[in-house]
Chains A and B, each alone.
Chain A
Amino acid sequence: MNCEESKNLIVEMNEADEVSSNAELSAHLAACSTCRQFLKYELKMRDGFEEIASEPLPAEVARKILAVPRIVSNETSAASPEWVKRLSAFISSMTFKIALASGITGFAAAIIFLRGFTPGFDRHSHPAAEDLKQVKRLERPLFNRDSSFPQPASTTTVAAAGAAVTINPELKKKLETRSRLTDDLLALKAEEGIAVTAERKAAVSEHIPGAVSFSLDENADASGRFAMAPAAPAAETGELVFDEAEQVSAESDDKAQDAMVMASAPKLKEVLRSLPTSAKSSGVTKSEMADSFAVSEAEVISDPRAVVILKFLESNGLVSEEGFIDLDDLFIKGYIDNSQRREWRAPDGNDWYLTRTGNRPAIILRRKP
């Protein structure tokens, strides 16, 4: 291959990576400095065009283009034949009617359900009518946890939303069994060292401020009475309900923010992933890293790509004398691909510089000479 053919191939290549895949061209480039020079110029020029091509559109244009499918479908529907219009109008009117009928039915069902539903409908309390006969109207406000409040001796009462109903002995037995199981489970968790409060935190974090919550208060009565009572306030239970909720939600916010930052910086993620395991797991600080590379802390923080490049050079046995690193040269020699070349490009005015302190190599950003 001569220089003319080489230049033509370079100009006509679709992707810069085609250079390394063409053995003949690679061989020619290795031997010809003029063509290498031309390739470097070509790469710079293509990078420049790529920058131009990726310049963002004005927001208004972007909005209009994204709305094109909607605009065209509106045009199409406006231009459809008369019978299609009538059919679509009929369907849309039917849809409204169906929606209205469903809404009314749903509303009615909800009212019936809310007004008619009692635990007495449970099949365990069958026949419900028999149980309801035994209901005793409360004469004092509900949710009173005073044990002196008179209760029927032979029945278990569940009080909720202004009504009280009895539970038959079979259901009571089942509830007691469930309660015992819950106690056993909690005891088991406590033994295993699981922080039960953590679950409580999670449950608390789902609280809706201002909402009244209920809990089964199984200790309300020594005689085994189960009462539906408002959850004990924080002061009573000694738990910091709302503070904890805020703390938990703040923690989750922080995590979400972290996740967003990580998601928005895939390059950074990649860099962190490729960091030496010791640096990640042993919690090496930035200043320690800076010390180990014998460069200023600011320089290490400023561009984490330096660590990646150094690691790459070391793994390929390219760490030699001090000096500027020519990424174009690494690309032409086939060590890196075009995307790496672009990703690792040093900020304008700077170049990557391989330096050594003692025997330890480091990569820093240095002003171009």
Chain B
Amino acid sequence: MENMKPEELWQKALTGDQQAWQRLYELFASRVYQFFLRNTRNADLAADKTQEVFLKIFRNRENFRYGSLKTWIFRIARNLLIDEWRRAGQREIPSEILPDIIDSGVQVEESVIAAIEHQQMVVYIDECLDRLEEPDRMAVCLVYIAGLSIPEFAEVMEVPLGTAKTRVRHARLRLDQLLSEKIQLKRFEKSV
């Protein structure tokens, strides 16, 4: 089970193999939940949406015949998130046109990077995700939390590969800026 591909696990799960289903759950459930949680900041909603994703893939099992299961799962998750944003009304639907961000060549000294603790970095990321624009946050979550490659991200977002690269790069620049600010601030606090 450990070394089986998600698609193989899926085929076994369809025959009623509970172990295969459990393994799929281990592979994706937490990532899907965190994707919703970081994008909605609502634990109950994230839990409901996560369950909905898994219900949808099982109900529509005939629709998945080939390709990447991960991509299919996160395409459903992404569509559910956009639906949720639409339903909420007050939120703007993410624009397809990205504002320009100039690569300021953010650099943090090696000693500062080395001094950042692992848990500290987790906290910084969490705080910075909140400050990202929705399209950037979605891109960051799909690539770094869901673990999609750039081509997989392109497939989920239903955009050409070039556009996907631009989006990820845009999101990363913004995240790097925010993280850099956090790290520098922390460094300043320490020195004071």
What is the interface of chain A, defined by CB distance below 8 A to chain B?
8, 11-12, 14, 33-34, 36-38, 40-41, 44-49, 51-58, 60-62, 64-66, 68-69, 71-72, 75, 326, 345, 348-349, 368
Answer whether residue B101 sits at the interface, using C-beta atoms and an 8 A cutoff. Answer: no
A-B contacts besides A37-B109, A66-B25, A68-B54, 6 pairs, CB < 8 Å: A45-B121, A45-B179, A46-B144, A52-B34, A58-B43, A68-B55
Q: Known contacts A40-B113, A45-B125, A52-B126; decide if A58 and B31 are in contact (CB<8 Å).
A: no
Determine how close the nearest CB of chain A comes to the CB of B66; give it in whole angstroms: 21
Contact of A52 among B29, B145, B179 (CB under 8 A): B145
Q: Which residues of B contact A12 (CB under 8 A)?
A: 150, 165, 168
Tell me, in angstroms, the Cα distance from A112 to B165 when the chains sit together: 80
Given known pairs A53-B30, A72-B55, the reply for A48 and B121 (CB within 8 Å) is yes
Partner of A14, one of B21, B31, B33, B149: B149
Kindly provide the distance from the CB of B32 to the nearest chain A CB, expressed in whole angstroms: 9
Q: Indicate if B39 sits at the interface (CB-CB under 8 A).
A: no
Residues A49 and B125 in contact in the complex (CB < 8 Å), given A14-B149, A66-B21, A348-B118 = yes
A52-B34, A53-B147, A348-B117 known; A65 vs B59 contact (CB < 8 Å): no
- Nearest CB in chain A: distance from B45 CB, A: 12
Say whether A69 contacts B118, CB under 8 Å: no
B161-178 near A? 1/0 per residue, CB < 8 Å: 000010011001000000
Q: Which of A8, A57, A69 contacts B50 (CB 8 A)?
A: A57
Q: Is the CB of B34 within 8 A of A55?
A: yes
Interface size class of chain B, counting residues whose CB lies under 8 Å from the partner chain: 35 or more
Contact of A40 among B33, B50, B114, B172 (CB under 8 A): B114
How far is B122's CA from A345's CA once the two chains are assembled, in angstroms? 15
Which residues 80-130 of B have a CB within 8 angstroms of A? 107-110, 113-122, 124-126
In whole angstroms, what is the CA distance A65 to B31 when docked?
A: 13
| CB of B47 within 8 Å of the partner chain | yes
- The number of residue pairs between A and B whose CB atoms lie closer than 8 Å in the complex comes to 110
Task: Across the interface, name the chain B residue whose C-beta is closest to A71.
Answer: B55
Supposing A48-B118, A68-B55 touch, asked if A40 and B110 sit within 8 A by C-beta, the answer is yes
Distance of A56 Cα from B50 Cα, bound (Å): 13
Q: Please give, as numbers and ranges, the residues of chain A lying within 8 Å of B118 by CB-CB distance.
A: 44, 47-48, 51, 345, 348
Do residues B145 and A49 form an inter-chain contact, with CB atoms below 8 A? yes
| Chain A residues closer than 8 Å to B168, beta-carbon distance | 11-12
Given the complex of chains A and B, what is the CA–CA distance between A47 and B118 in angstroms? Answer: 8
A11 with B110, Cβ < 8 A, contacts A57-B33, A61-B33, A71-B55 known: no
Distance between Cα atoms of A62 and B22 in the complex (Å) = 10
7 contacts between A and B (CB under 8 A): A11-B169, A45-B144, A65-B25, A66-B21, A68-B54, A72-B55, A348-B118
Query: Does B58 sit at the interface, judged by CB under 8 A?
Result: yes
Q: Would you call B18 an interface residue if the criterion is a C-beta within 8 Å of the partner chain's C-beta atoms?
A: yes
Docked pose: A40 CA to B147 CA in angstroms: 19
Q: Shortest CB–CB separation between residue A326 and chain B, in angstroms? A: 8
Contact A37 B33, beta carbon cutoff 8 Å: no
CA distance in complex: A155, B65 (Å): 77
Task: Provide the bound-state CA to CA distance between A51 and B123, in Å.
Answer: 10
In this assembly, does B184 line the interface, its C-beta being within 8 Å of a C-beta of chain A?
Answer: no
A57 with B29: in contact, given A65-B50, A65-B51, A68-B54 (CB under 8 Å)?
A: yes
Q: Are A65 and B144 in contact (CB under 8 A)?
A: no
Given the complex, which residues of B lie within 8 Å of A68, measured CB to CB? 21, 51, 54-55, 58
Cα distance A51–B119 when bound, in Å? 9
Residues from chain A with Cβ under 8 Å of B150 in the complex: 12, 14
Residues of A within 8 Å of B76, CB to CB, are: none
Interface pair A54/B30, CB less than 8 Å apart: yes
